[in-house]
Every structure is written in structure tokens, then in C-alpha cells.
């Protein structure tokens, strides 16, 4: 089995760009990734890509070039980018292709998502009564978590404050204005206990990653980053997911725990060795819970971690150093690959004002999406 | 004494799991295909909740005739240990607490509940 590395990463700007379509954001990201790798589209031998609401990724060949390569569309909710990466990883690993592109993009309209119950196997009444709202899930999950493990609203606000600070020093981010924890707390409840500024917003952006076998990765234009673990998982019985009409008895499981464990096992390392991480931060509460679900801390420790600034850029485990979904928005297809782009940039030492000090060597990414999908990677230089 | 309303659920004839809503199977816990219809306990306590403070997008949401009002979404834990997602009608959103007793009042669209009269407030530690 072939060892796989990332040889190029590219990003469009994130945030409202009225003059550009989602497809144009995707093409920008692809070109940026190809330039980073020092290659051209005809060098790509297979592609995996997706968007949730901005069209079929494989139709982009009319903008990129008709080269006859296999181009597979990926649709796994917020985990789309991660799934695309893992699919591309296996294409290299299996020897099916030597240069693979993973792409994710989206351009969402203003306001909340409007999923339809039929698409999720749920009766119409669930939608008409007002229960097809993704933010309800994140709110009820963190509400219970806070009750069980003593997390306070102040801690939720600190996560968001960190996100906006990191966004303010990230030129690609959408939200570039730093906000204080007090401003976050007073921004108005959206779904208790989460206020407006604790949530990401559906957004705009494209991200792309180019993969190659590790033993050839040094021949390209930028410093390669090894993929030591790349795993997607779907949920087991007993997990608490978006759009759950019911939850079974007993302790609830997490698909994120499954995916993180799989990635660490593949990499042969544990969470304590990670120097920089991206964890799905649909809202502040999600970042808090994913810290423990992915194995970085025990339930409840997040209170101390945030107080001690452990997940800030200078802390023991910087999380979402580019501002995460909260500062970049959530263009569903792109986020998983934006995360990879940021970790690669950090491991290469190229993150400028938001660079994690002391030469980070190991990075971790985690995405989570409905109806219970998670993709995690372990990356290393 | 009020008549308690139940939920149309199923029980797995292999492992005994009570699941909601009623479905044709298989059992999500043990994969057995034989499920029998049962009426599960409806009343319970609030395991978690949130308040829907903004009108969800329409479609699919149907705005009530007299306009949108914030409503309480809760997972209610019943005696079977299962947690059912529903709406708590008639509650002051700012007074709802984890642990409050609720009665199931309707399953016409989604499970709907009312805070029990004798539930002064749940645990909120």
C-alpha cells in the first residue's frame, strides 16, 4: 500500500463575494492548489469533489479542462470535504492514480439552512412543526453536556472570542473583526444556550488539496505533508445526531469518537502528540464537545482549558487557528478541506501572524456532518 | 386521574429495545427483523431542551396563523429510558429546566408536551 502525501493546497477567499458564483470559488481554489503543487490540471489523474448546494463538482471540468479523468461527486453534509480527501487518499494508496485532487465548495444564501424532512427519511410533520433546524441539535446537545459536565456559558463565549481573534489575523477569513466574550454573550439567543455570535453562518468558499504518493512528493513545488491517518465513519447505534426523532437509553456514543480513534490508530499515535488541530466548530459548543469526543481532554476539562488559553495559538493545543467555521463561515462542501489547508499551512510554517510557535510537526483535522458522518485526518511533517 | 397518552412505538422481539417512531425494522441495536407494535410511556422528564428563537425557513416550516412565537424543543426521557424529541407547548421558554416533568398531550404532528402542574422546576446544577 502506497504512503500518501499532500503536495498542494489552495483556498478561495471565504465570506460574501457577490461577484463570484460557487463554481468560480471552486475553480479559484483548484487553481490555487495546482499552483501550490507546481502542476497543471492535465497532471491530475483523478478527482473527488462536492458541494451541498452549489451544483455538481464533476461538471467543473468544463472550466478546468476535459481530460477524461474519473471525477466522483461526494455528498456527506458538513463532512463532504473530509470524505473527498479520504476517497482521494485511497485512490493513491491503491495505486489507482498518482496525482489526485480533492475539492469542496459552496455558496449558501443568507439565513439558516432549510433541509427538507423527506431528504432525511423523516415525515413531513417534522418539517412543518419546525424541527428541521440544524442549530436545534447543536443547542440541545451542548445544553445537556453543560448540565452533565459543568461547562458554563462563559466558556462558550471564550471559544467564539478565540475564533474571531484568529479570523482577524487571517486574510482569507470572512469575519475579520475581533469580538469580546461579552459581546458574544450579549448578541441575542438563537437556540438557547447558544447566542448569535456563538454560531457559524452558512457561507461561501472553496478549498482544494492535491495528493501524491509520498515517495514522489518531494518533486513538487511546495513542502509535502504526510497523511498518516485518514478515516471516515458513520454512526453506530446510540449516537446523538442531527435530526434524531429519538435517542436510545443509556450512554450515548459519538461518530466523531469513532473517526478520531480510527485516524489515530492508523497513524500509530495518540491525541497527546498533536501540535495543532481543526475541530468542527459549527458553534462554540461543538468545538467544546469535539475536544473530548476526539480524545484531547476529559469531559469537563474544557472549562480549565479555555480559561488557561490552552487552545489559543500560543497554547498547548491550538485549535482552529484560522478562525474555524465561526470566523470563516460554513460553506458546507469546503470546510473539511479548509481545515486541511490550515493544518498543512501551519505544519509548513507558513501561517504568518497566526503561526503556531515551536515548529508544529503533527496536525489533526475533524469534520462532523448530518446524518452522523465524521472524517478525521492525522497529518505530519 | 388523567389518562396518560402513549407513543406508538415498536419493541424488538430479540433484544427488547423499545424504539420510536414505529418502523418496519430492522432493530437498530441488534439487526433482528421482528418488531412488535407497542404503546410506550409518553410522560417523562426533560432530558435536554432548547428554545427556537427564530422562525425556521418556510418551507418546510408552517408559520402558525397568529404568527411565529419562540417555542421550546425538548428531548423527553421516559420510564423506558428512551428520549423522544418534541415540542413543549404553553411553557415560558425562560422557565424551562432539565429535569422538569412533562405530560405527552398529542402525537398528531410531532410529540407535544405540557409541563406537569406539579413540576415546580427541575434540577439545574
Q: Which three cell numbers stand for residue A171?
A: 486574510
- Please, what is the Cα angle at B58 between B55 and B62, to 5 degrees? 75
The whole-angstrom separation of Cα A135 and Cα A131 is: 10
* pLDDT in the model for residue B123: 46
Q: Which candidate, A360, A355, A195, A370, places its Cα nearest to that of A274? A: A360
Q: Is A323 a residue whose pLDDT tops 90?
A: yes
- Assess A148–B contact: CB distance below 8 Å, yes or no: no
**Cβ contact, residue pair A130, B52, below 8 Å:** yes
Among B56, B60, B75, the residue with its CB nearest the CB of A247 is B75
* pLDDT in the model for residue B119: 62
Give per-residue pLDDT as tens, A249-300.
Answer: 999 999 999 999 999 999 999 999 999 999 999 999 999 999 999 999 999 9
- CB of A233 within 8 A of CB of A373? yes
DSSP code, position A273: G
Which H or E run includes A278? Answer: strand A276-279
Q: Which three cell numbers stand for residue A192?
A: 438557547
- Assess B16–A contact: CB distance below 8 Å, yes or no: no
- Best of A120, A131, A132 to substitute, by most chain B Cβ atoms within 10 angstroms, is A131
Question: Count of residues for chain B?
Answer: 125
How distant is the Cα of A236 from the closest Cα of chain B, in angstroms?
Answer: 9
**Cβ contact, residue pair A114, B93, below 8 Å:** no
The whole-angstrom separation of Cα A21 and Cα B95 is: 45
Average pLDDT over all residues of chain A: 96
Give per-residue pLDDT as tens, A87-124.
Answer: 999 999 999 999 999 999 999 988 877 789 999 889 99
Mean pLDDT of A208-226: 97
Among A140, A144, A191, the residue with its CB nearest the CB of B53 is A191
Residues of B in contact with A249 (CB under 8 A): 80-82
How distant is the Cα of A120 from the closest Cα of chain B, in angstroms?
Answer: 13
Q: Residues with Cβ < 8 Å from A98, sequence gap 6 or more?
A: A45, A92, A212, A213, A216
**Cβ contact, residue pair B84, A136, below 8 Å:** no
Residues of B in contact with A116 (CB under 8 A): 59-60
Q: Which candidate, A103, A75, A55, A138, places its Cα nearest to that of A326? A: A138
- Assess B22–A contact: CB distance below 8 Å, yes or no: no
Residues of A in contact with B48 (CB under 8 A): 140-141, 143-144, 147
- Assess A269–B contact: CB distance below 8 Å, yes or no: no
Q: Residues with Cβ < 8 Å from A48, sequence gap 6 or more?
A: A71, A72, A74, A83, A84, A85, A87, A88, A91, A100, A101, A102, A103
Q: Is A162 a residue whose pLDDT tops 60?
A: yes
- Assess B67–A contact: CB distance below 8 Å, yes or no: no
Q: Which candidate, A190, A183, A188, places its Cα nearest to that of A161? A: A183
With 0-12 / 13-18 / 19 or more C-beta atoms within 10 angstroms meaning exposed / middle / buried, residue A230 is: buried
Distances (CA, A) of A183 to A19, A320, B28, B74, B102: 31, 20, 44, 28, 35
- Assess A196–B contact: CB distance below 8 Å, yes or no: no
Give per-residue pLDDT as tens, A43-56.
Answer: 999 999 999 999 99
Among B83, B109, B125, the residue with its CB nearest the CB of A246 is B83
The whole-angstrom separation of Cα A227 and Cα A100 is: 14
Handedness of CA A370, A372, A373, A374 (dihedral sign): positive
Question: What is the three-class DSSP state of B73?
Answer: strand
Among B60, B84, B124, the residue with its CB nearest the CB of A117 is B60
* pLDDT in the model for residue A345: 98
The whole-angstrom separation of Cα B102 and Cα B118 is: 10
* pLDDT in the model for residue B118: 66
Interface subset of B 94-113, CB within 8 angstroms of A: 98, 109-110
Do the interacting molecules here have an ipTM over 0.85? yes
How distant is the Cα of A127 from the closest Cα of chain B, in angstroms?
Answer: 5
| Residue numbers of chain B with a pLDDT score lower than 70 | 1-2, 118-125
Among A114, A128, A143, the residue with its CB nearest the CB of B50 is A143
The whole-angstrom separation of Cα A182 and Cα A180 is: 5
Q: Which three cell numbers stand for residue A178?
A: 475581533
* pLDDT in the model for residue B25: 86
**Cβ contact, residue pair A246, B60, below 8 Å:** no
**Cβ contact, residue pair B57, A130, below 8 Å:** no
**Rg of chain A, C-alpha, whole Å:** 19
- Best of A119, A192, A240 to substitute, by most chain B Cβ atoms within 10 angstroms, is A192
Task: Using a pLDDT cut of 70, give the percent of chain A over it.
Answer: 100
**Cβ contact, residue pair B62, A128, below 8 Å:** yes
Among B75, B80, B87, the residue with its CB nearest the CB of A140 is B75
Mean pLDDT of A79-83: 93
* pLDDT in the model for residue B120: 53
With 0-12 / 13-18 / 19 or more C-beta atoms within 10 angstroms meaning exposed / middle / buried, residue A353 is: exposed
Which H or E run includes B48? Answer: strand B44-52
**Cβ contact, residue pair B98, A190, below 8 Å:** no
Q: Which residue of B has its CA nearest to A149?
A: B125
Q: Residues with Cβ < 8 Å from A318, sequence gap 6 or more?
A: A275, A276, A277, A311, A312, A346, A356, A360
Residues of B in contact with A189 (CB under 8 A): 51, 53
**Cβ contact, residue pair A143, B60, below 8 Å:** no
- Assess A247–B contact: CB distance below 8 Å, yes or no: yes
Amino acid at each position: 500500500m502506497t504512503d500518501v502525501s499532500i503536495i498542494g493546497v489552495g483556498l478561495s477567499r471565504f465570506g460574501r463575494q457577490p461577484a463570484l458564483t460557487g463554481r468560480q470559488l471552486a475553480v479559484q481554489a483548484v487553481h490555487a492548489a495546482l499552483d501550490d503543487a507546481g502542476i497543471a490540471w492535465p497532471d491530475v489523474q483523478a478527482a473527488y469533489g462536492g458541494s451541498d448546494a452549489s451544483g455538481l463538482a464533476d461538471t467543473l471540468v468544463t472550466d478546468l479542462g476535459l481530460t477524461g479523468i474519473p471525477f466522483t461527486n461526494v455528498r456527506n453534509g458538513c463532512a463532504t470535504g473530509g470524505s473527498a480527501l479520504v476517497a482521494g487518499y485511497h485512490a493513491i494508496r491503491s495505486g489507482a492514480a498518482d496525482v489526485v485532487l480533492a475539492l469542496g465548495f459552496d455558496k449558501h444564501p443568507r439565513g439558516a439552512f432549510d433541509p427538507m424532512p423527506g431528504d432525511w427519511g423523516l415525515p413531513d410533520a417534522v418539517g412543518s412543526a419546525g424541527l428541521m433546524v440544524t442549530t436545534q441539535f447543536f443547542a440541545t446537545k451542548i445544553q445537556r453536556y453543560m448540565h452533565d459536565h459543568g461547562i458554563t456559558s462563559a466558556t462558550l463565549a471564550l471559544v467564539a472570542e478565540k475564533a474571531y481573534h484568529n479570523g482577524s489575523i487571517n486574510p482569507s477569513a470572512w469575519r475579520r473583526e475581533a469580538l469580546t466574550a461579552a459581546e458574544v454573550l450579549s448578541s441575542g439567543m438563537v437556540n438557547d444556550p447558544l447566542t448569535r455570535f456563538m454560531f457559524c453562518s452558512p457561507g461561501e468558499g472553496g478549498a482544494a488539496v492535491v495528493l501524491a504518493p509520498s515517495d514522489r512528493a518531494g518533486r513538487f513545488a511546495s513542502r509535502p505533508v504526510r497523511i498518516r491517518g485518514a478515516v471516515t465513519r458513520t454512526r453506530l447505534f446510540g449516537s446523538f445526531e442531527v435530526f434524531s426523532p429519538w435517542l436510545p437509553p443509556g450512554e450515548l456514543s459519538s461518530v466523531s469518537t469513532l473517526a478520531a480513534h480510527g485516524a489515530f490508530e492508523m497513524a500509530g499515535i495518540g491525541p497527546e502528540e498533536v501540535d495543532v488541530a481543526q475541530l468542527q466548530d459549527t458553534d462554540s459548543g461543538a468545538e467544546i464537545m469535539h475536544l473530548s469526543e476526539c480524545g484531547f481532554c476529559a469531559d469537563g476539562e474544557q472549562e480549565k482549558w479555555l480559561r488557561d488559553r490552552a487552545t489559543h495559538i500560543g497554547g498547548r493545543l491550538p485549535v482552529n487557528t484560522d478562525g474555524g467555521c465561526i470566523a470563516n463561515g460554513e460553506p458546507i462542501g469546503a470546510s473539511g478541506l479548509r481545515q486541511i489547508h490550515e493544518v498543512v499551512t501551519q505544519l509548513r510554517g507558513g501561517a504568518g501572524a497566526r503561526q503556531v510557535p515551536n515548529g508544529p510537526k503533527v496536525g489533526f483535522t475533524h469534520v462532523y456532518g448530518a446524518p452522523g458522518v465524521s472524517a478525521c485526518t492525522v497529518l505530519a511533517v | 386521574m388523567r389518562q396518560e397518552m402513549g407513543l406508538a412505538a415498536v419493541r424488538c422481539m430479540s433484544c427488547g429495545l423499545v424504539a420510536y417512531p414505529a418502523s418496519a425494522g430492522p432493530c437498530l441495536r441488534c439487526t433482528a427483523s421482528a418488531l412488535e407494535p407497542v404503546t410506550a410511556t409518553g410522560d417523562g422528564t426533560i432530558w435536554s431542551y432548547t428554545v427556537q428563537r427564530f422562525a425556521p425557513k418556510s418551507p418546510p416550516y408552517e408559520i402558525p396563523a397568529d404568527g411565529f412565537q419562540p417555542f421550546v424543543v425538548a428531548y423527553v426521557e421516559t420510564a423506558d429510558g428512551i428520549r423522544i424529541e418534541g415540542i413543549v407547548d404553553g411553557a415560558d421558554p425562560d422557565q424551562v429546566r432539565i429535569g422538569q416533568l412533562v405530560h405527552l398531550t398529542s402525537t398528531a404532528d410531532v410529540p407535544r408536551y405540557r409541563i406537569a402542574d406539579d413540576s415546580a422546576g427541575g434540577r439545574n446544577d
